[in-house]
Amino acid sequence: KTAWPELVGKDAIYAREQILADNPKLEIHIVFYEACLVTADFDKNRVRIYTDCSNRVVRTPSIG
């Protein structure tokens, strides 16, 4: 699995647990969507979870 669209709107910690349940080798980064700058590189071992100020997932988490 490379993307988790079903997690949009869910709590970020819950989303992290679900992604790690699917693939425990992934590195998860929880990022506040409006305030953080991130690198544009692709990393096959990373998933970024973008959140709003309520810690809810606002974009589909995906590998990269």
Give the β-pairing of 62-63 and 46-51.
antiparallel
Cα first-last separation, the chain: 12
What would the pLDDT profile of 5-62 be if each residue is shown by its tens digit?
Answer: 999 999 999 999 999 999 999 999 999 987 777 888 999 999 999 999 999 999 999 9
Q: What is the pTM of this model?
A: 0.90
What pLDDT score was predicted for residue 63?
98
On whether the CB atoms of residues 10 and 57 are closer than 8 A, the answer is yes
Domains of the chain (ranges, CATH numbers):
5-63 (3.30.10.10)
